[in-house]
Amino acid sequence: MKRTKQMSESIRLGALLAVSGGFMDAYSYIQRDHVFANAQTGNILLFGVNLSEGNYSGAMHYFLPVLAFIAGIASAEFVRMRERNFLHWRQVSVITEAVILAAVAFFPLSLNLPANALISFACGIQVESFRKIRGNSAATTMCIGNMRSGTQHLCQFFRDRDREHLYSAALYYGIILCFVFGAVIGNLAIDFWHEKAILCSSALLLVVFACMFIDGEKEKQ
């Protein structure tokens, strides 16, 4: 288990996953009718606002992705509990996520509701499957927890002058920058490829899948 823990918690994988996470959020918000793929707090807020205005169809527009996100978390947990020897359960999760996003690329804009639900489902898989980077609890699909942890470590560094806290703060803020970078390239990709732009995120996840094999083989040697 030590080997698989190391390969799934590397900084390289965390950075790639954060880029993909930012890309997915930008894609769903810009291209798929202003729904957040990852930021379920925003979706829940907009669900409540639409309910208060009596706009029930609009409310479902935001509520369905929340349910899909929950289902994605549950699915990843079931995969973990039924792990098989030929693939690590996180590899199963990431390849499933890549396939789902590739399928979304072929959904027309008239099918934004199921498209957003599938993207949120994939994000739920990712947030449950990859929860640590170098032993630090971290998220690759959202920023608020990383911002809190990074700031906490930075304050502890100023108090104790312990460089380990500075390194941890840099890790958390680095993951946030990767997320922002993913949003930037997501916006640029949408200008060129529109609905098909999400294939870039799927490709990033395939790179993550391959890196997990490479890292695993290195650990065996």
Domain count across the chain: 1
Predicted pLDDT of residue 9: 81
Q: Which two tokens stand for residue 139?
A: 């998220």
Whether 68 maps to a domain, the answer reads yes
Q: Which domain holds residue 190?
A: 2-212
Whether 199 maps to a domain, the answer reads yes
In this prediction the pTM is 0.91
Residues of the chain with pLDDT under 50: 1-6, 217-221
Whether 172 maps to a domain, the answer reads yes
Predicted pLDDT of residue 2: 40
Whether 220 maps to a domain, the answer reads no
Whether 89 maps to a domain, the answer reads yes
Per-residue model confidence as pLDDT tens digits over 126-140: 999 999 998 889 999
Whether 182 maps to a domain, the answer reads yes
Angle at 158 between CA 152 and CA 162, to 5 degrees: 90
Predicted pLDDT of residue 82: 83
Rounded CA separation 54/212 (Å) = 48
Residue type, 188: L
How many other C-beta atoms are found inside a 10 Å radius of the C-beta of residue 152?
14
Residue 127: give its domain's CATH number. Answer: 1.20.1250
User: Torsions phi, psi of 136, nearest 5?
Assistant: -95, 130
Best CA proximity match to 136, nearest among 174, 162, 177, 80: 174
Evaluate whether 161 touches 167 at the Cβ level (below 8 Å). Answer: no
